[in-house]
Amino acid sequence: MPSPSVLLRKVRQSDLQIFYEHQRDPEAVRMAAFPSRDLEAFMAHWAKITRDETVIARTIVAGGIVAGNIVSFMRGDTREMGYWLGREFWGKGIATKALRLFLRGHTARPLYAGVATHNAASVHVLEKCGFALSHQEDDFYILMLA
Ligand SMILES: CC(C)(COP(=O)(O)OP(=O)(O)OC[C@H]1O[C@@H](n2cnc3c(N)ncnc32)[C@H](O)[C@@H]1OP(=O)(O)O)[C@@H](O)C(=O)NCCC(=O)NCCS
């Protein structure tokens, strides 16, 4: 199947309900090893990161449809990445394209990402975009783009 066109744009309020559904998919939660939030906590979290000028959050649009989000944020002194797609968008190269686009537009380095050790697809996405293993923290690999 041909890979859909992918673009990034600023997050709109109307995207949040879609992201909320994506983050409560049990298979995605298992994959990311990241617990889902209930609606109130999820909306409060997004209100907080939207106000935070150090956070860069973008909506991933694939084939004209909101497919997920990609976010860069500070943890202490280091800048980290995260991304999340709805399950119907997995396995089509969308995360790789979205991360490449993000890295082209945002050049702060080094950049880190923490990935559950069983999340081979996400490790692969990061490696395809130039990230390499930095170290391991419990059940998470920490990858870095220098
Ligand atoms: C992880 C996630 C972003 C991947 O998105 P995606 O669009 O399916 O990723 P891509 O298609 O761009 O690339 C995935 C790559 O991993 C490969 N892959 C998939 N499952 C794999 C597995 N079990 N083992 C090894 N490689 C795997 C794919 O073949 C593909 O590589 P290829 O392009 O060389 O064929 C998506 O599954 C997701 O959002 N999951 C839930 C949330 C999550 O885990 N977020 C990341 C937290 S770090």
- Residue 40 lies inside a defined structural domain of this protein: yes
pLDDT (tens digit, 9 = 90+) per residue, 106-128?
999 999 999 999 999 999 999 99
Query: Ligand 1: which residues within 6 Å by Cβ?
Result: 28, 31-32, 82-85, 90-96, 115, 119-122, 124-125
The boundaries of the domain holding residue 59 are 6-109
Task: Give the chain's domain count.
Answer: 1
| Within-domain flag for 14 | yes
Residue 132 falls inside a structural domain: no
Strands (E), 53-101: 56-62, 65-75, 78-85
**CATH at residue 26:** 3.40.630.30
Edge to edge, the sheet with strand 140-145 lists 6-10, 56-62, 65-75, 78-85, 111-116, 140-145, 132-137
Taking all residues of the chain, what is their mean pLDDT, rounded to a whole number? 97
In the predicted model, is pLDDT for residue 2 greater than 80?
no
Instruction: State pLDDT tens for residues 11-70.
Output: 999 999 999 999 999 999 999 999 999 999 999 999 999 999 999 999 999 999 999 999
Ligand 1 centroid – CA 119 distance (Å): 8
- From the CA of 121, how far away is ligand 1's center (Å)? 3
| Strand pairing report for 111-116 and 6-10 | unpaired
- Which residue's alpha carbon is at the smallest distance from atom 47 of ligand 1? 32
Q: Is the pLDDT assigned to residue 87 strictly greater than 60?
A: yes
Evaluate whether residue 119 is within a structural domain.
Answer: no
pLDDT at 3 over 60: yes
